[in-house]
Amino acid sequence: MSTFEQIIVVEGRDDTKRLRALIGDVDTIETGGSAISAATLNQIALAQKRRGVIVLTDPDFQGQRIRNIIRQAVPDAQHAFLPRTEAVPQKSGGSLGVEHASAAALRAALAEAKQPEHEAEQLITRDDLMTAGLLGGAAAAKRREQLGDLLGIGYANGKQLLRRLQEFRVSREDFATALKTINEDEND
């Protein structure tokens, strides 16, 4: 019996091994990297209908690319986001990945899995992101990373951030609270 009702969608074998070693008995679908096939997308869609799926990809460009492909094919899938700081390899030179995360980080990411809202009203605007220092400027990328971690929606560039804030229906109150935390951390 799987630890999770849902099937976890990961990029490759190393991710599956890491999840099973740290979390326990989990069922996964491996995308085989960024060259995700139509057959794999059909398998994910079927899994979503029968048990539900949680997409857990690496917090890098390719992981985001895979996530976007899955989002288009299976729009009601849940998404778990691993903070970039939790996916750093022990040895320098490696790339960010699920296979480097701790058990606590993986459990937290999966526990906070979110499902996009497709009829989301526009809660937060591009102007809000500009005013908050999340677009443009030297510190914007770091601030977006911190915001993504605090809200559990992962790192994103400016355009992706706005879409995620809207898809996951982040309220203005939660947005403001996270920004307050970021600003306080910067002033310490």
For 65-106, write each residue's pLDDT tens digit. 999 899 999 999 999 999 888 888 777 667 888 888 899 999
- Top-confidence range, 7-11, 30-34, 138-142, 149-153: 7-11
Predicted pLDDT at 89:
76
**CATH level 3 topology of 1-115:** Dna Topoisomerase Vi A Subunit; Chain: A, domain 2 (3.40.1360)
> Given a cut of 90, is residue 57 above it in pLDDT?
yes
pLDDT at residue 177, as a whole number: 95
**What is the average pLDDT across 169-185?**
91
Enumerate the CATH 3.40.1360.10 domain ranges in the chain, comma separated. Answer: 1-115
Q: Give me the residues paired with residue 9 across strands.
A: 29, 55
At residue 120 the predicted structure's pLDDT band, cuts being 50, 70 and 90, is very low
Q: What is the dihedral of CA 165, 168, 172, 178, to 10 degrees?
A: -70
Half-sphere exposure of 117 (CA within 13 A, CB side): 12
pLDDT at 131: 92
Strand order of the β-sheet with 28-30 is 28-30, 7-10, 53-55, 78-79
Residue % of the chain over a pLDDT of 90: 53
